[in-house]
Amino acid sequence: MNIKFFENVLKYGSVLVGCVVVGIIARKIYIDSGGDDYTGTAIMWAVVSVLFIVYSGIMIILNEVSDSVIKNKRSKKITESNEIEDSPVISEQIKFDDSTEILETEEILKPEEILELPTEEPLIKIEEIRTVKAEALSKVAEEKKNIALSYTREEFALYLSDANLDSLCESVSVYAENGDFENLKSVPINDLTSLDLFHFGWNLWNHFRIRDQRETAVFLKTVFAETLKDIEVESIKKHLKDDERKGIIKIKKDLTQPDSDQ
């Protein structure tokens, strides 16, 4: 059988089923309201018939409208095609010699008659984007390092000489730049306890968040070698945040805020 036949059966069959369902619902509503079965059945088929007729009428109208639109488009295309074929080709004859054949060529526009096309603005190159992004990240990192250096000077100004304070700040810069600890200088300190140094290490770790706490413990063990000589790295790591509010150097979650606001 023709495939079109099955398409019609499927299309109209599904619509008919839908109409029957609506008719059954109408029949049930009528019977539930006190009507008899015979009248309810008649109402059901009436509803089915009306719905199916309305659907068929709508489909016929839509088909006629679509056919008319398609015909108009085809007619317009044919007209445009005929106009193009009938338009004369501007040509000119070029003569070279008496022995040269006469050639017909299409008229060529002069350079000044050619319209200049607008040029698009150059797109930003990906390398420029990367450069801008890298500069922004570098600026943020530099600002964080300066904050940490200011904090270090404030905390240790009373307990270290100028030379040792400068040496400690250099070590903090190496920590901030994710550098190696091998060449860091140890600074002697007597008036601060190991708890103060633990808190200082935790504050640096929390401020930068670029190293793990074990690396921070190694940093403290290297920079304050004399004070922490009897304490293992793992023990330093475990006690970095002990007794947050005790000691001279306390835990600070924001190095830009004074101790009273923490």
Give me the domain span that covers residue 25: 3-65
**What is the pLDDT, as a whole number, of residue 177?**
93
Residue 125 lies in a domain: no
Angular region, 34: left φ>0, alpha ψ -120 to 50, beta rest: left
pLDDT at 243: 93
Q: Are residues 147 and 244 in the same domain?
A: yes
Residue 150 pLDDT:
96
The candidate with the shortest Cα–Cα distance to 207, out of 252, 249, 258, 245, is: 252
Mean pLDDT of 190-213: 95
- Characterise 233 by phi-psi region: left (phi > 0), alpha (psi -120 to 50), beta (else): alpha
Least confident span in 35-44, 103-112, 136-145, 146-155: 103-112
Query: How large is the average pLDDT for residues 201-222?
Result: 96
Of 13, 43, 65, which closes a domain?
Answer: 65
Residue 117 lies inside a defined structural domain of this protein:
no
What is the reported pLDDT for 171?
97
- Tell me if 241 is assigned to some domain: yes
Q: Has residue 220 been placed in a domain?
A: yes
Within 10 angstroms of residue 217's Cβ, the number of other Cβ atoms is 26
Domain end position, chosen among 35, 65, 95: 65
Task: Kindly state whether residues 55 and 147 are assigned to the same domain.
Answer: no
170 within some domain: yes
Whether the predicted model's global pTM rises above the 0.75 cut: no
Nearest alpha carbon to residue 253 among 196, 178, 202, 193: 202
- State residue 243 phi and psi, 5-degree precision: 45, 65
Q: Are residues 148 and 247 in the same domain?
A: yes
Residue indicated by tokens 């500069």: 135
Residue 35's identity, in one-letter code, is G
pLDDT of the residue at 8: 67
Instruction: Please give the pLDDT value at position 27.
Output: 82
The pLDDT score that the predictor gives to residue 94 is 42
More confident residue, 216 or 74: 216
Q: Domain boundary residue among 33, 65, 97?
A: 65
pLDDT, mean over the chain: 81
Number of residues that make up the chain: 262
Looking at the structure, tell me whether residues 154 and 47 fall in a common domain: no
204 part of a folded domain: yes
Q: Locate tokens 């008719």: which residue? A: 23
C-alpha to C-alpha distance for 190 and 202, rounded to whole angstroms: 20
The reply to whether 157 and 245 lie within a common domain is yes
Mark whether 149 and 248 lie in a shared domain: yes
3-state secondary structure of 93: strand
Domains identified in the chain, total number:
2
The highest-confidence range among 36-40, 84-88, 183-187, by mean pLDDT, is 183-187
Average pLDDT over residues 210-234: 96
Identify whether the C-beta of residue 187 lies closer than 8 Å to the C-beta of residue 160: yes
Q: Is the pLDDT of residue 74 over 80?
A: no
48 to 14, 120, 139: CA distances (angstroms): 13, 63, 76
Return the number of other C-beta atoms located less than 10 Å from residue 43's C-beta: 17
The stretch 115-123 carries a mean pLDDT of 52
What's the pLDDT at 80?
65
Helices (DSSP H) in the chain: which residue ranges?
Answer: 3-32, 37-86, 126-156, 162-176, 194-208, 213-223, 233-238
Which stretch of 97-111, 202-216, 247-261 has the lowest confidence by average pLDDT? 97-111
Residue 187 domain flag: yes
Which residue matches tokens 């708890």? Answer: 195
Residues 166 and 251 both lie in one domain: yes
46 within a domain of the structure (yes/no): yes
Task: Determine the Cα–Cα distance for residues 91 and 108; give it in Å rounded to an integer.
Answer: 9
Q: Could you tell me the pLDDT band of residue 91, with boundaries at 50, 70 and 90?
A: very low
Domain identity same for 61 and 146: no
